[in-house]
């Protein structure tokens, strides 16, 4: 099986667009459809035709180009069953644990409620790739619009059991602000400090921070580290539950 090819580009203000191409079957999926123009340009740049849209959640910055792309390419739109009515042009719904194939590549759906009630992530286990959209960012996690912090903590736990070598593609370039926040929560984490410095340098040059890796996130992303003794000590929350610690970290980020 030949490796998937991935094209990453920026759209809107801070969204990432991601195209996934299977060279064997010529299938091309766009992960969400944030903005028509940049998606068309990226596809043309690579000579790919959009055959699928993998929708993660209903927010406008993830579905705005659904109908335009469908009209142009006749592509199939797949999305979360729990947000089916809010997703334009949806053809096929997916729930937690559902599996399908993209060419010969296995795709597993992971429901991650928190940012929205029905948000799903697309995991390609054999390719070790996760499309996490607005659930898990480099050094961050999505804001809680439709579900509780406890729900989001549980969702992030489901992602964090994936192998360390999983490449994570996320929905927004928030990495610099996430890094500046993360060091306030986990100030003695040497790996985080080094990473934050690298991000400052990379973003000053406009470099993309996507993808990240699960192993790196587990070592440096405070939203995955509510159980870490140093973080708990820093927050003076040694006796609290992981959910409570996560809730406090999320609240602090909202006010950062
Ligand atoms: Zn969103
Ligand atoms: Fe978004």
Q: Name the band, by pLDDT with cuts 50, 70 and 90, for residue 220.
A: very high
Q: Which ligand is nearest to the CA of 171?
A: 2
Query: pTM score, two decimals?
Result: 0.98
Distance in angstroms (rounded) separating the CA atoms of residues 198 and 229: 25
21 is in an annotated binding site: no
Q: What are 109-128's pLDDT values in tens digits?
A: 999 999 999 999 999 999 99
Q: What are 179-199's pLDDT values in tens digits?
A: 999 999 999 999 999 999 999
Q: Which ligand is nearest to the CA of 34?
A: 2
Using the 8-state DSSP alphabet, how is residue 19 labeled?
Answer: E
Q: What are 134-175's pLDDT values in tens digits?
A: 999 999 999 999 999 999 999 999 999 999 999 999 999 999
Q: Which residues contact 49 (CB under 8 A, 6 or more apart)?
A: 26, 28, 43, 73
| Distance between Cα 167 and ligand 1 center (Å) | 20
Q: CATH number of the domain at 5-254, out of 3.40.190.10, 3.60.15.10, 3.30.1130.10, 2.60.220.10? A: 3.60.15.10
| Distance between Cα 171 and ligand 2 center (Å) | 6
61 is in an annotated binding site: yes
| Distance between Cα 62 and ligand 2 center (Å) | 6
pLDDT (0 to 100) of residue 71 = 98
115 is in an annotated binding site: yes
| Distance between Cα 215 and ligand 2 center (Å) | 24
62 is in an annotated binding site: yes
Q: How many CB atoms lie within 10 A of CB 251?
A: 12
Domain range summary for the chain, segments of one domain joined by +: 5-254
Extract the runs of DSSP E, i.e. beta strands, from 55-173: 76-80, 92-94, 99-102, 105-111, 120-124, 129-133, 136-137, 140-141, 167-170
Q: Name the band, by pLDDT with cuts 50, 70 and 90, for residue 1.
A: confident
| Distance between Cα 25 and ligand 1 center (Å) | 31
Q: How many CB atoms lie within 10 A of CB 177?
A: 17
| Distance between Cα 172 and ligand 2 center (Å) | 6
**Whether residue 213 has pLDDT greater than 90:** yes
Q: Which DSSP helix (H) or strand (E) runs through 28? A: strand 27-31
Among candidate residues 117, 6, 13, the one with its CA nearest the CA of residue 54: 6
User: What angle, 0 to 180 degrees and rounded to 10, lies between the N-to-C axes of helices 175-185 and 242-254?
Assistant: 130
172 is in an annotated binding site: yes
Q: Name the band, by pLDDT with cuts 50, 70 and 90, for residue 62.
A: very high
């Amino acid at each position: 099986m030949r490796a998937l090819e991935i094209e990453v580009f920026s759209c809107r203000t801070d969204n990432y667009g991601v195209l996934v191409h299977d060279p064997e079957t010529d299938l091309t999926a766009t992960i969400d459809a944030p903005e028509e123009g940049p998606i068309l340009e990226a596809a043309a740049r690579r000579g790919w035709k959009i055959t699928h849209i993998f929708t993660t959640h209903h927010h406008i910055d993830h579905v705005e180009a659904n109908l335009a792309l469908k009209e142009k390419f006749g592509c199939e739109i797949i999305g979360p069953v729990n947000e089916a009515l809010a997703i334009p042009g949806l053809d096929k719904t997916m729930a937690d644990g559902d599996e399908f194939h993209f060419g010969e590549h296995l795709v597993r759906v992971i429901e991650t409620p928190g940012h929205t009630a029905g948000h799903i992530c697309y995991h390609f286990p054999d390719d070790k790739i996760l499309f996490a959209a607005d659930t898990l960012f480099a050094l961050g996690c999505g804001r809680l619009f439709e579900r509780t912090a406890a729900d989001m903590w549980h969702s992030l736990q489901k992602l964090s059991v994936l192998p360390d070598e999983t490449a994570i593609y996320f929905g927004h370039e928030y990495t610099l602000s996430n890094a500046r926040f993360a060091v306030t929560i986990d100030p003695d984490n040497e790996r985080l400090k080094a990473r934050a410095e690298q991000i400052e340098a990379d973003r000053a040059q406009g470099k993309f921070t996507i993808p990240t890796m699960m192993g790196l996130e587990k070592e440096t992303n405070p939203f995955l580290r509510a159980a870490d003794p140093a973080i708990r000590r820093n927050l003076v929350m040694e006796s609290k539950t992981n959910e409570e610690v996560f809730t406090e970290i999320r609240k602090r980020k909202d006010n950062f």
